[in-house]
Amino acid sequence: MASPSKTAPNRGAIHPFDHKYGTDTGGYLGPEELVNGRRNDAHNYGYSAIAPSVFHEACTKWQETLPAVSGRIEAYTFVDVGTGKGRPLLLASELPFRKVIGVELSDELARIARQNLTRWSRLRQPRAKIRVVREDAMKFQWPRTPLLVYLYNPFACSLVEQMAENIAAASSQGSGLADLLYVNPTCADRLAAQGLFTRLWTGRIPMDAADQKADPYGTSSDLISIYRLIREHTR
């Protein structure tokens, strides 16, 4: 396993987002730092948060895929799987989602995420209700509403496949609408082979200058893929 300094040489940088809002959403935690003796600990891929500039553009790309007449963001529940410290929840709450939910296995990260939500709510006026669920994502009860599921390469591909099956099963009992916003999609081949979701868009989204300076990995862009549940799997 690569050392933390090689994996994330800028791991201690404080992001301008946290300077501005008094939150703690930045940094990098390796997989070994998130092990607490739980069943799926060994499958986690560590923690880092998406650059706000990339998140905003990725959400714009996703909204462009929605049907012009029936596609309303207000109908969708945003679910961040492996939310960590919760930065995507804060950013998503600026959009008029039906609900914003973070699912996190780590007690400590879930605690930090809730603290961040409290600070954020004092300074901003979220457009969506936000909550953090401290739970194994494989046991999460998926809402029956249309879903936008956000993934920042959270865990091993075997769990991504299981999660995709769980989403499809839940959607078949509900709206039948589920999309994935997948950052650093390392399990893309496995998703394609599974045949539950079709890929709508893939591309690299550049970070703005402030995000580049604070990025733990010292990178300047993120690869993003957008997937949509194939409707035949919801009948």
Model confidence pLDDT, tens digit, residues 85-134: 999 999 999 999 999 999 999 899 999 999 999 999 999 989 999 999 99
DSSP string, 44-60: B--B----HHHHHHHHH
Name the H helices within the chain: 4-7, 16-21, 52-65, 87-92, 107-123, 157-172, 188-194, 209-214
CA distance 157 to 143: 23
The residue with tokens 């990995």 is: 217
pLDDT at position 202: 98
Picking from 26-30, 127-131, 209-213, which range would have the lowest pLDDT averaged per residue?
Answer: 26-30
Model confidence pLDDT, tens digit, residues 179-193: 999 999 999 999 999
8-25+46-64+71-234 is classed in which CATH architecture?
Answer: 3-Layer(aba) Sandwich (3.40)
| CA 178 and chain centroid, separation | 14
Q: List 179's β-bridge partners, or say none.
A: 148, 228
DSSP character at residue 221: E
Average pLDDT, rounded, for the chain: 88
pLDDT of residue 32 exceeding 50: yes
Model confidence pLDDT, tens digit, residues 152-177: 988 889 999 999 999 999 999 999 99
pTM given for the model: 0.89
Model confidence pLDDT, tens digit, residues 128-147: 999 999 999 999 999 999 99
Q: Which of 187, 107, 108, 102 is nearest to 137 (CA)?
A: 102
Confidence grade of residue 7 (pLDDT, cut at 50, 70, 90):
low
| CA 180 and chain centroid, separation | 9
Torsion of CA 10, 134, 178, 174, to 10 degrees: -170
Q: List 150's β-bridge partners, or say none.
A: 80, 181
